[in-house]
Amino acid sequence: MDISSGVVGRMIDLALEEDLGRGDVTTRLTVPEGARAAGLAIARHEIVVSGMDVFSSVLRRVDPDVAVEVRRGDGEAAAPGDVLAVAAGRTASLLAGERTALNFLQRLSGVATLTRDMVRSLPPGSAARVSDTRKTTPGLRALEKRAVLHGGGQNHRPDLAGGILIKENHAAAAGSIAAAVERCRRGAPHGVGIEVEVRTEAELLEAVESGADAVLLDNMEPPEIARCVEIAAGRVLVEASGGIGLDNAAEIAATGVDVISVGALTHSAPAVDISFLLEGAQR
């Protein structure tokens, strides 16, 4: 991913403008001109790292002369006290950029860590895959979906052009699930599958018999999910979604679904605790 241009670059610039647009009065008054230092990014609890390149890019946007040595890269696990990166340069530049750099790193590492925990929560031998959704922070989707991959999950469609997912409103507008599938089948680009969101066993059968490639079971309880998996009988890929978290992911995986899509991976992941300390500073 090129983080120096495009939407991610614009988000970095916006975040820096938000925090540094009017300058850093505290640093200007307390840091001697020309002072240099090294700052350590330190994990405060067990995490999976994601966004280290963004962390580095933020600091270099503030000052191109800042050098960042990465100690724990994206997708790597870190224990409490581990040094994730060492940034060296002008003290004023490090202090001016640290909060914005950490905001990205803590947020993205939080997504990766929650995804890792969700994957680990599934029963041993489970074939179910943990996937994200489009419930992402506006502007940060590409980074958050990459963080899901760093945590061992998979990505659902990246945007509305990335796949066909017929939801309740689409089916209503087309007249029925069958009509919506037929319209999509006639116009879908080559190789693009058709998935249908269903809420009942009857809708599941309609989707399967209409030639859908996958079904998304919306907010069903585990016994109903298990029954739908039995009805599908391998004819379509079965995805479960809605209200899934660490407390019930294992039970849902045990029903035999192929995919568990979890919006919480991106919309509710807590930021992890990472500190940034100048060498020699008290911790």
Query: Hey, which residues are catalytic here?
Result: 99, 135, 167, 197, 218
DSSP label at residue 55: H
Helices (H) and strands (E) counted in the chain, each on its own, are 11, 12
- The Cα 281–Cα 100 span in angstroms is 20
Of 39, 44, 150, give the one whose Cα is nearest residue 85: 39
Phi/psi region, residue 125 (left: phi>0; alpha: psi -120 to 50; beta: rest), is: left
CA atoms within 13 A on the CB side of 111: 33
Pairing of strands 214-218, 164-166: unpaired
Backbone angles phi, psi at 256, to 5 degrees: 100, 10
Distances (CA, A) of 162 to 90, 158, 228, 272: 43, 6, 26, 30
Sheet containing 194-198: give its strands across.
129-131, 259-261, 237-241, 214-218, 194-198, 164-166
The type of residue at 35 is: A
Q: Is the dihedral of CA 87, 101, 11, 130 positive or negative?
A: positive
